[in-house]
Amino acid sequence: MTTWWRGRDPDLAATRRAGRTAIVMPALFALCSQVFHSSTMASFAAFGSFSMLLLVDFSGSMVERLRAQAGLAVAWAVLICVGTLVARLTWLAVVTMLLVGFVVLFSGVVSSVLAGSSTALLLGFVLPVTTPVPLSHLPDRLAGAALAAAAALPAVCLLWPRPVADPLSAPAARLCRAAAAHLRADASGLGGQGPAADAAQRRAVADRTTDAGTDLRNTFDATPYRPTGLSTASRALVRLVDELMWLSTILTDRPAYTDEPPACDPAARTVRLAAADVLDNAAYVLTDLHRDIAPLRACVEDLRATMKGMEESSTARLPADHPVGDSAVEIYGFIATLDLSFRAKELGFAVLQIVGNVELAATAWQRHWPDRLLGREPGALTEPLASARDRAAAHLGLRSVWLRNSLRGAVGLGIAVLLADLTSVQHSFWVLLGILSVLRSNALNTGENALRAVLGTVVGSAIGAGLLHLIGHHGTVLWFLLPLAILMAGIAPAAISFTAGQAAFTVTLVVLFNINQNPDWHIVLLRVQDIALGCAVSIVVALFFWPRGAAAAVHKALAEAYTDSARYLADAVHYALGPYGSPDSSASVGEPVQQSREAAASARRLDDAFRTYLAELGAKPRPLADMTTLVTGVAALRLAADAVVSLWQGVGPERGPADQTDAHRAILGAAFRVTRWYWGFAAGLGGNAPIPDAVRLRPETASRLVESVRTDFVDDRGQATTTAVRIIWTGDHVDVARRLQPNLAAAAQGSTGR
């Protein structure tokens, strides 16, 4: 039973919230109704505690949680005042609901703290705006909310407090350590330094890396919901899943054109060992994000220095003065001279990306609470408002899932306020709650949720009516039933189902509305009427704003992300090699900063669409593993483009002569074919074309590249220049993007069902 319960409610998060609410909410309701004899205070105290204890679960240290709770209480006071002032005029209430709804929902894109408390904030405005009263009632409303806040603060820290932990940190740390051991095993014996690890030892470390990666992926995929919170630290840890899995892929990835590369540059061994040290230090930080990150930064600087030294030594080892035959073995053998050093460079770059997120997570965990509330990224050079503006700007377009969700939610709430007033619904507040409970990311699933909500309401109404019939005139029994009903209302959605949660919530309302009154089963009929109207509004609004489901939204976001990332890769290669004779003569040879920003913005939109897909209720129509592979592929493609830009930063691309060299043409042509495949792949993900076949190796292209490097990029002594090494490594990065294609195509076939 315990295993089943923890499987449905990991870390007992829902049980903790429900238990606290079941204690505090009835106590406050009793205090206000029986001692202060104020029904207004009782309602706002009850729903205030419901909002502040059940609808939010702030992360971070206890001090940060208490500060966040206090901030939520202040926001509730402001929203109650505004809602009370505008409620008496229908048009003003509707317009204000639209504005408040949109601002609250869209502000989540700026700050993760605001995103996690959006429903609780909306409830603070919905409650007063749907129950018009004279301004003389405002003090009682504020007093009820103040009591709720005063009770919520000690409840959060004293009643079964949530442990400060993240489910991804431990498995991510294990994978970092396993990858570090893998790197050390690969480095053993390279460059003729030290004994080489035997085959059994290599298999053992490789298996441990695979097992650690599987454990991390299983932890991430264990639930259809996000396994971490919405904080910056948690989101950085989520990004680590993709990057660490990509590192695991790099550790086993090898070009198909050679069995074993030639003698290794000793610096490639040094880079692997330095990267292993960085990963070990990253694992140490991940086990406790409060630890000092200065040693980690020192290791990072050492890794950067060794990578720079490897570039210089690799130049000296490139045999540009040796003749190369026409056979594929000899041609690819020349390129393979830099294979191990390139793979070390690629590994080092991936490790730097990983440690950047580890450092971000640790710094975010250690930053002050005001920075967390404002959504200011750790280490950002911009001011908080500028940082917020940049994040919001990425979503100011109808292709943004977040913007659509915000618009749809705001319009739905506004329509519900209008209909509740025009139809004179007695309990218009529950119409708004009906929308909040069923309005999701797509029309089809909203309809499914609406049916579940109505079904749960009917079941809960029947149970409530039966309880009232059994209780008869013994209304005191309802006081004993109220905590149990609240407990079930908090636990049922996570532990059982959405329908069960709706039924338990209905029972809670039946009990709450009949305390201190003669039990009246007619209230259940009003509840069914209210929720049905709210469901109908949510369906209409969702059909208008979102014609297809979250899976379709993810595929569209994937298509846009692959299109932008492939363009970024193409422009990165053009930045490195110049657009001489390219099909797009207008291409810029400047650093592709704008393309990088566009790719990053589309990746953020994809992240939001994918998280919406994960959070959506119901079974997933496609394998989650395939969807995750496709999302990870976007990050890998951007990493390849970032690596190309990084390779040429600070040294300035060396342009070839006006008549472009064969090396330029070979790599630009390869990049064109690879990026064209990704554009076709994006069209296939969008449903506009079939998934194309992966690009194959072209030995004739490699032959042109090798001959050009040997003749066009050597010094007076016939030795290769650093430009020759960078050109070959640029081609290697393009080939990495090519080698991703078969797995992505297979995942796309599985995710689209074609």
CA distance 535 to 450: 5
Structural domain of 209: 169-365
Is residue 93 within 8 Å of 421, Cβ to Cβ? yes
Pick the residue with more confidence: 89 or 620? Answer: 89
Which neighbouring-strand residues pair with 720?
714
pLDDT at 34 over 70: yes
**CA torsion sign, 486 to 488 to 489 to 494?**
positive
Beta partners for residue 714, in sequence order: 720
Signed CA dihedral, 378, 382, 383, 385: sign only: negative
CA atoms of 174 and 217, how far apart (whole Å): 12
Is 605 in the same domain as 708?
yes
Which of 233-237, 293-297, 327-331, 496-500 has the least mean pLDDT?
A: 327-331
Q: Is residue 325 part of a domain?
A: yes
Are the C-beta atoms of 133 and 40 separated by less than 8 Å?
yes
Q: Are residues 497 and 596 in the same domain?
A: no
695: DSSP letter: P
d(CA 366, CA 514): 48
Rounded CA-CA distance 668/698 in Å is 13
Q: Quick check: is 485 in a domain?
A: yes
The predicted structure's pLDDT at residue 143: 95
Q: What is the pLDDT of residue 473?
A: 64
Reported confidence tier of residue 2, pLDDT bands at 50, 70, 90? low
Which token pair is 521? 């089963």
The half-sphere exposure of 375 on its side-chain side, counting CA atoms within 13 A, is 20
* Per-residue pLDDT, 617: 46
Q: Where are the alpha helices (DSSP H) in 589-698?
A: 593-615, 624-648, 662-685
Chain centre to alpha carbon of residue 378: 18
The label of the residue with tokens 């408390």 reads 117
In a domain, 19, yes or no: no
Do 554 and 532 lie in one domain? The reply is: no
For 581, half-sphere exposure in the C-beta direction (CA atoms, 13 angstrom radius) is 15
What tens digit of pLDDT does each residue of 536-567 get?
665 665 555 554 456 677 888 888 899 999 99
721: left (phi over 0), alpha (psi -120 to 50) or beta: beta
Indicate whether 121 belongs to any domain. Answer: no
**What tokens appear for 500 in the block?**
């069960």
Q: What is the pLDDT of residue 164?
A: 62
**Is position 306 within any domain?**
yes
**Which amino acid is located at 393 in the chain?**
A
Q: Tens digits of per-residue pLDDT, 356-366?
A: 888 877 887 77
Residue 30 belongs to a domain? no
Cα(205)–Cα(443) distance, integer angstroms: 48
* Weakest-pLDDT range from 58-62, 274-278, 509-513: 58-62
pLDDT at site 275: 92
Would you say residue 309 lies in a domain? yes
Confidence of residue 382 (pLDDT cuts 50, 70, 90): very low
Block residue for tokens 């705001």: 410
How far apart (Å, rounded) are the C-alpha atoms in residues 561 and 678? Answer: 10
Beta-carbon contacts of residue 101 (< 8 Å; ≥ 6 apart): 122, 125, 406, 409, 410, 413, 414
24-33, 182-191, 349-358: segment of lowest average pLDDT: 182-191
Domain-located, residue 77: no
CA quadruple 567, 628, 220, 451: dihedral sign: positive
In this prediction, residues 274-279 reach a mean pLDDT of: 93
Higher pLDDT, 342 or 589: 342
Residue with tokens 């377009």: 397
**Total number of domains constituting the chain:** 3
- The whole-angstrom separation of Cα 354 and Cα 236 is 10
Which of the two residues, 313 and 473, has the higher pLDDT score? Answer: 313
Most confidently predicted of 403-412, 435-444, 470-479, 633-642:
633-642
Residue pLDDT, tens place only, 292-311: 888 999 999 999 898 888 87
Question: Distance (Å, rounded) from C-alpha 140 to C-alpha 134?
Answer: 11
Dump pLDDT digits (tens) for 107-130: 777 666 677 788 888 888 988 988
pLDDT at position 381: 39
Q: Supply the mean pLDDT for the chain.
A: 75
Q: What percent of the chain has pLDDT over 90?
A: 15
Highest mean pLDDT among 368-372, 410-414, 710-714: 410-414
* Cα R_g (the chain), whole angstroms: 30
Flag whether pLDDT at 488 surpasses 60.
Answer: yes
In tens, the pLDDT along 173-226 reads 999 999 999 888 888 766 555 556 666 777 888 888 888 887 887 776 554 334
End position of a domain, from candidates 503, 529, 547? 547
The answer on pLDDT for 656 being more than 50 is: no
Phi/psi for 620 (5° steps) reads: -80, 135
Give the span between the Cα atoms of 704 and 686, in whole angstroms.
36
Specify whether 661 is located in the same domain as 713.
yes
CA neighbor of 237 nearest in space, from 272, 291, 178, 287? 287
Q: What SS3 state is found at 653?
A: coil
For the ranges 123-132, 660-669, 738-747, which has the lowest average pLDDT? Answer: 660-669
Task: Name the residue type at position 731.
Answer: G
Task: Determine how many CB atoms are found less than 10 A away from the CB of residue 326.
Answer: 9
- Of residues 120 and 714, more confidence is placed in 120
| Lowest-confidence pick of 201-210, 393-402, 455-464, 484-493 | 393-402
CATH code for position 336: 1.20.58
- 484 and 614 in a single domain? The answer is no
* Better-predicted residue by pLDDT, 615 or 303: 303
pLDDT at 616 (0 to 100): 55
CA distance 752 to 373: 39
**pLDDT per residue as tens digits for the range 389-447:** 656 666 666 667 677 777 877 887 888 788 777 766 555 656 665 665 555 444 445 55
Same domain, 585 and 710: yes
Q: What is the DSSP string of 458-517?
A: HHHHHHHHHHHHHHTT-TTHHHHHHHHHHHHHHHHHHHT-HHHHHHHHHHHHHHHHHTTS
pLDDT of res. 168 = 76
What pLDDT is recorded for position 32?
92
* pLDDT score at 308: 82
Residues 441 and 359 in one domain: no
Q: At what angle do helices 522-545 and 401-422 cross, to 10 degrees?
A: 140
pLDDT of residue 113: 66
Q: Judge whether residue 62 has pLDDT over 60.
A: yes
Residue 451: which residues within 8 A CB-CB, separation 6 or more?
A: none
CA–CA dist 442, 448 (Å, integer): 10
Kindly state the tokens that stand for 468: 């009232």
d(C-alpha 358, C-alpha 222), whole Å:
22
Higher pLDDT, 428 or 104: 104
Closest CA to 334 of 343, 345, 347, 321: 321
Q: What is the mean pLDDT of residues 24-51?
A: 90
CA pair distance 66, 52, nearest whole angstrom: 11
For residues 599 and 561, the answer to whether their CB atoms sit within 8 Å is: yes
Do both 604 and 656 map to the same domain? yes
Identify the H or E element spanning 455. helix 443-471
pLDDT tens digit string along 673-694?
999 999 999 988 877 788 898 8
CA distance linking residue 19 with residue 24, whole number of Å: 9
Both 492 and 555 in a single domain?
no
Instruction: Give the DSSP letter string of 91-157.
Output: HHHHHHHHHHHHHHHHGGGT-HHHHHTHHHHHHHHHHHHTS---GGGHHHHHHHHHHHHHHHHHHHH
- Residue 620 sits in a domain whose CATH number is 1.20.120
From 167-171, 223-227, 261-265, 598-602, the region with the lowest mean pLDDT: 223-227
- Separation between Cα atoms, residue 441 and residue 455, nearest integer Å: 20
Place 150 in a pLDDT band, splitting at 50, 70 and 90. very high
**Which amino acid, 168?**
L
Q: 62: which 2 tokens?
A: 């206890």
**Residue 96: pLDDT above 60?**
yes
Q: What is the pLDDT of residue 750?
A: 63
Q: How far apart are CA 239 and CA 10, in angstroms?
A: 21
**Is 438 in the same domain as 477?**
yes
Q: Which of these three, 515, 547, 579, is where a domain ends?
A: 547
Region 608-612: what's the mean pLDDT? Answer: 71
Cα separation, 475 vs 544, whole angstroms: 45
Q: What is the rounded CA–CA span in Å between residue 68 and residue 683?
A: 44
Higher pLDDT pick, 386 / 457:
457
Measuring CA to CA, which residue among 391, 408, 392, 417 is closest to residue 442?
408
Last residue of a domain, one of 547, 579, 607: 547
What average pLDDT does the segment 92-112 reach?
Answer: 84
Asked if residue 558 and residue 543 are part of one domain, the reply reads no
Q: How far from 350 is each of 34, 40, 639, CA to CA, in Å?
A: 63, 58, 8
**557 in the same domain as 543:** no
User: When comparing pLDDT for 149 and 543, which is higher?
Assistant: 149
Residues 506-534: pLDDT tens digits? 788 778 777 766 655 555 566 566 666 66
